[in-house]
Amino acid sequence: MLGSLARILRQCGEAQLLRFERPGTEYPCLFSLFISARECFNSVGVSSLDESPKLRALLLIVDDRKEIRAALQRFFEMFFERVLTAASPPEAEECLRTERPTLLLCDYFLGMEWPPATSLIPAWRATFPFLARVAIMSGTRSESIGNCPEADAIFEKPLNMREVTDFLLMGLTPNQTG
């Protein structure tokens, strides 16, 4: 299951990971993602990168930034058989209609042309009742983005991947279907 992390770290190499850490780069949250992944696996005592089964629940990640979608997708593919991504609300709605994911992780700000996640999620929850767990990720402090009772959680960036993973996996079993 966790073999993807090893491949990602090998593909990126230490030089690229160090570049993510440099102040002023565009990718500090990707660096945090890789570090959080290492901490997450070490904390649960995973000795083999392929020892745990993947869950069959489907996860949809909605973010307007391609590099963030790709990093999150690669990370969560270690836990789920399929991780879907969308760059915009229309793409997300198409995916929700056709794929029926049960888990949703949505960026708060998807660009100037779209409403914030706090406006999108209530409509998606009403239209797609199969969504079991919905979370917002935001670069803005969570208390500043307003009330959204339809979101089960709000995570501040840089994401603490252990917290996000625990939230998504809560109550799921390896035989869970999507």
- pTM (global) more than 0.95: no
Query: Residue 78 belongs to what domain range?
Result: 3-169
Calculate the alpha carbon distances from 143 to 21, 120, 140, 152, 168 in Å: 27, 18, 8, 14, 21
Question: What CATH number is given to the structural domain containing 138?
Answer: 3.40.50.2300
In the predicted model, residues of the chain with pLDDT beneath 50 are 1-31, 40, 43-51, 175-178
Identify whether 178 is part of a domain: no
Calculate the alpha carbon distances from 116 to 1, 88, 138, 146 in Å: 33, 11, 10, 10
Identify whether 121 is part of a domain: yes
Identify whether 141 is part of a domain: yes
Number of folded domains that form the chain: 1
Identify whether 82 is part of a domain: yes
- Residue 60 tokens, joined: 């949809």
Identify whether 67 is part of a domain: yes
Which pLDDT tens digit goes with each residue over 138-168?
987 666 676 788 999 999 888 999 999 999 9
Identify whether 60 is part of a domain: yes
Identify whether 161 is part of a domain: yes
